[in-house]
Amino acid sequence: MNELFVQTTDEVAYDFIEFAKTKHYGIEITCFAFPGILDGDWKTLLKSYKHALKGFGNEVAIHGVYMDMVTASKDAKVVGVAEERILQNIEIAKQLRAKIVAFCSCYNPCIATGSPGYVDGYKQRQIKFWSEILEPIADGTLTLVFENLWEPEPELVRYLLDGINSENFKALLDTGHTNIFSKVPIERWVEVLADHLAYIHLNDNHGDFDSNLAPGEGNIRWDRFFNALKCYGLRPRMCLEVEAYGNRSKLENTKRAIEYLKKMRFHPF
């Protein structure tokens, strides 16, 4: 199992693939998350990635669709669109021999604040939706990971994972999202998700904007986060979700993030 992944740019990322191959890291491909690509010539892009990944012996993940994917909608037609996109991502993942597909939650705290029945309905519809999605892959090696986005507390995510109760459906903890949208300490997120926690999007920010900074360049308490993982004996896969900034490319900032993790002797170094 590759414990560290690097996340690509939105085109065929030959530089990331070569870097990950050399360093024995996994790779997370992002381009198939976007509707412009999925409505376009995505099959040619898929062929390009298949060719680029020849000889790549490390694990592959893809970031699935997230824009407007309201999987817990009351509107069956809206849910149908989300299902079509998600199944498209799963097929792409199979062709790339990916181990992981990341999907964001669609929980809306603004609606929850004004509608007392929203949370219960959201839970029921999410459990139904993902349980049905998982049926065809239940005996396979593909894992769908559920990424927190706007949830204010981890218990809601835990409830869904317990309700779905599948080895093919696990938690993805995005550290940056918890720092912006939740007042719950990050170590509490680790504690609550615990045995469901399979994948991390590792990025930093200053609590105001989802800027995807390299760890150590925002205000997240990384010592508390990694101590919590150690305390609960967790070794999830970790993906560096770091953007280009400061006149540096995404790959350059990813390398800076790796150097920080090494310097601080944080997992997996």
Q: pLDDT per residue over 212-269, tens digit each?
A: 999 999 999 999 999 999 999 999 999 999 999 999 999 999 999 999 999 999 988 8
Tens of pLDDT along 20-47?
999 999 999 999 999 999 999 999 999 9
What pLDDT, on the 0 to 100 scale, is given for residue 241?
Answer: 98
Residue-level pLDDT at 48: 97
79-104 pLDDT, tens per residue? Answer: 999 999 999 999 999 999 999 999 99
Question: Quick one: 106 exposed, middle or buried, by C-beta within 10 A (0-12, 13-18, 19+)?
Answer: buried
- Residues 19 and 56: beta-carbon distance below 8 Å: no
CA-angle at 226, arms to 223 and 230, nearest 5°: 130
Instruction: Give the domains, in start order, of the chain with CATH numbers.
Output: 4-264 (3.20.20.150)
φ, ψ for residue 197 (rounded to 5)? -80, 110
Looking at residue 191, what is its pLDDT? Answer: 98
Quote the percentage of the chain above a pLDDT of 70.
100
Strand-pairing partners, residue 240, are 6, 202
